[in-house]
């Protein structure tokens, strides 16, 4: 699925927008590595490195993003705060599960790659572009 970054996705808070953009860029790098692997132009070592980087990003950088975003929601008394926080937590735990499965397998599991691809694209399309965008109305 082709998804492009556009300024419409910004909520107007520099730090949060920068973090969302970083997510988009990380997703792009990961998808490129997957495409190359599937078209047999890439090797599994490069793809594995990209996946490792993506996991590191999602569990480290993006955890900080969730904390920053939740702090903003609290400060602005965002009415759907709890619901929003639950989604963040669910996403992290789903990623942890995939990461765990991924680390168990020696060969790259293509189904797992697809699953990860779907998850992060869905996050971008349905969370960042919709749920997070809604925050802008309350700033």
All residues at 6 or more sequence positions from 106 whose CB lies less than 8 Å from its CB, including other chains: none
Q: CA–CA separation, 6 vs 60, rounded Å?
A: 25
H runs (alpha helix) in the chain: 14-38, 44-56, 62-75, 81-104, 110-122, 133-135
Shortest distance in whole angstroms from residue 57 CB to Fe ion: 13
By C-beta, is 50 or 69 nearer to Fe ion? 69
Stretch that binds Fe ion, among 31-39, 93-101, 105-113, 128-136 (CB under 5 A): 128-136
Going residue by residue from 41 to 70, which x/- string records binding to Fe ion, judged by CB under 5 A? Answer: ----------------------------x-
Shortest distance in whole angstroms from residue 65 CB to Fe ion: 6
By C-beta, is 72 or 108 nearer to Fe ion? 72
Per the CB < 8 A criterion, the answer to whether 7 and 49 are in contact is no
Of the residues 99, 122, 132, 133, which one makes contact with Fe ion according to CB under 5 A = 132
Residues binding Fe ion: what is the number (CB under 5 A)? 2
Residue 27 tokens read as 């997703």
Q: CA–CA separation, 37 vs 64, rounded Å?
A: 30
List interacting residues with Fe ion (CB under 5 A). 69, 132
């Amino acid at each position: 699925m082709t998804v492009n970054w556009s300024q419409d996705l910004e909520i107007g808070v520099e730090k949060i927008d920068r973090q969302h953009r970083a997510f988009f860029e990380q997703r792009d790098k990961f998808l490129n590595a997957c495409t190359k692997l599937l078209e047999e132009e890439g090797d599994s070592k490069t793809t594995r490195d990209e996946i490792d980087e993506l996991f590191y990003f999602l569990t480290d950088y993006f955890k900080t993003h969730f904390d920053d975003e939740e702090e903003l929601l609290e400060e602005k008394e965002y009415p759907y705060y709890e619901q929003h926080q639950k989604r963040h937590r669910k996403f992290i735990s789903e990623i942890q599960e995939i990461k765990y499965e991924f680390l168990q397998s020696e060969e790259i599991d293509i189904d797992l790659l697809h699953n990860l691809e779907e998850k992060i694209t869905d996050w971008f399309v349905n969370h960042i572009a919709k749920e997070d965008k809604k925050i802008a109305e309350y700033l």
